[in-house]
Amino acid sequence: MSNITQMNWEKLLSRKRYEGQQSLSESEEMVRGEFQRDYDRIVFSSAFRRLQNKTQVMPLPESDFVHTRLTHSLETSCVGRSLGRIVGKKILEKYPGLEKSNLINEANFGDIVAAACLAHDIGNPPFGHSGEDAISAFFQGPEASVFLQNLTDTQQADLQNFEGNAAGFRILTHTYPAQCSLPGGLSLTYTTLATFTKYPKESLPKIPDTKNTSEKKYGFFQSEKIWFKTIADELGLLSKTQTGEIFYHRHPLAFLVEAADDICYRIIDFEDGCRLGLIPKDTAENLLKAILEMPEGKKSRLEFYDWREQIGFLRAKIISKLIAETAEIFLANETEILAGTYDNPLISEVSSKTILNQIKKLSIESIYKNRAVLEIEAAGFEVLGGLLDIFLNAVFKPQSRRHQKILDLIPDQYLDMNRQVHPDEYERILQITDFISGLTDQAAINLYRKLKGISLPKGY
């Protein structure tokens, strides 16, 4: 356990990457910095591209307006960049030596938060949070018990409480030996990886009644826990435990990632629900105007002829207001955040929190519990559970001809065909879970239908 009592920005803002990764020269840093490189690497990754067909609000949406995980992530990164720059400017004013000692400027803060925001959903399985529940339910069921019997309690907890945040950290940091000899995943900076990690703890122990936002979930699997400890110790994150678990206080900028996500999904999911006709436009307009403290009946100086444009205008004004407020809340609590004594979502302290909670409640009732959403999410349990059952049985019982055919369908990296040392049981299960959770919504459905004989490939 670390003896430090407070984190400091000089250590927290590190350009260090996995060993063997070359750093930029000072002249290159001025043109395209290390943290912007992080952002670009995420954009060009295949895992990020697959977010274009993963659920945000409505599974398998027919409307081309409705957000996917990709558009949500892009919007969240824009909000995160603004938050980072606002906070960075004030941090540099407060600690004038930081700019000279670390060659840090306010744009760097923005790039770090934007990159972490861009990746914040990169580990989400098909069908959104319902997909996490579906994977967890499979591993909690009797069909999976034979695969888990030799695993440790924490390894079992990783699977039985599957977490997209941990899957995301694995995507960013893990290289499959069948793909490349250089480990380290996307080889992002330690600072961006720590900022990405909103829940810097293992899956055990669970803390069900915690009021601390960073303890509500977990942020890395057992396979990557030493990786995270290396990052945390390098950056000087404060440890929360003396009993051996890997359990830390957040990197301060992770609070801005959480705030950017909260702002976007609260407001933009609500806008999607309105445009889909799930929320009455008058109800939506009144709630959005209340956030802006616009008197009821007062007309804007702008005249809108389409109510959708009116809603979009209000949404833009609200996001701007919430960015300013959450940045101010962060700065007001910066000393406590560095000391690890502040652990609340920034959005929980904004002036419009009561109205935002009303919006959240209405979104749950009218959007997330809409019949079409529930039907597809329920089907997702069958699809993801069915695929895990099929592929895990093939991996662990490869003797049958049918299972040999199934194995041929698994991409090589998830079988580690080129490794001389075979992975242990936990890693083998995790690799198949990587494969299934990495599928897009439509790809998962199509693969399930084909393997179950419900449909055949075109041409047959």
- In this predicted structure, the answer to whether residue 2 has a pLDDT above a threshold of 90 is no
pLDDT in tens, 92-128: 999 999 988 888 999 999 999 999 999 999 999 998 8
Residue 1 pLDDT level (bands cut at 50, 70, 90): very low
List of residues 6+ apart from 190 with CB closer than 8 A: 14, 16, 17, 231, 234, 235
Task: Determine contact, residues 13/102, Cβ cutoff 8 Å.
Answer: yes
Q: What is the pTM of this model?
A: 0.94
Query: Can you give the pLDDT at residue 169?
Result: 98
Mean pLDDT of 18-44: 76
| 3-state SS track over 125-142 | CCCHHHHHHHHHHHHHCH
Helices 153-160/425-437 angle, 10° precision = 10
Distance, CA of 201 to CA of 50 (rounded, Å):
27
Q: Determine the straight-line distance between the first and last CA of the chain, rounded to whole angstroms.
A: 61
Question: Which residues are 239's β-sheet partners?
Answer: 248
More confident residue, 52 or 29: 52
Task: Determine contact, residues 334/326, Cβ cutoff 8 Å.
Answer: no
Burial class (CB in 10 A: 0-12, 13-18, 19+), 237: buried
- In this predicted structure, the answer to whether residue 368 has a pLDDT above a threshold of 90 is no
Query: Can you give the pLDDT at residue 420?
Result: 45
List of residues 6+ apart from 240 with CB closer than 8 A: 201, 247, 248, 249, 340
Query: Can you give the pLDDT at residue 61?
Result: 57
Question: Which residues are 55's β-sheet partners?
Answer: 68
Query: Can you give the pLDDT at residue 347?
Result: 98
pLDDT in tens, 245-290: 899 999 999 999 999 999 999 999 999 999 889 999 999 999 999 9
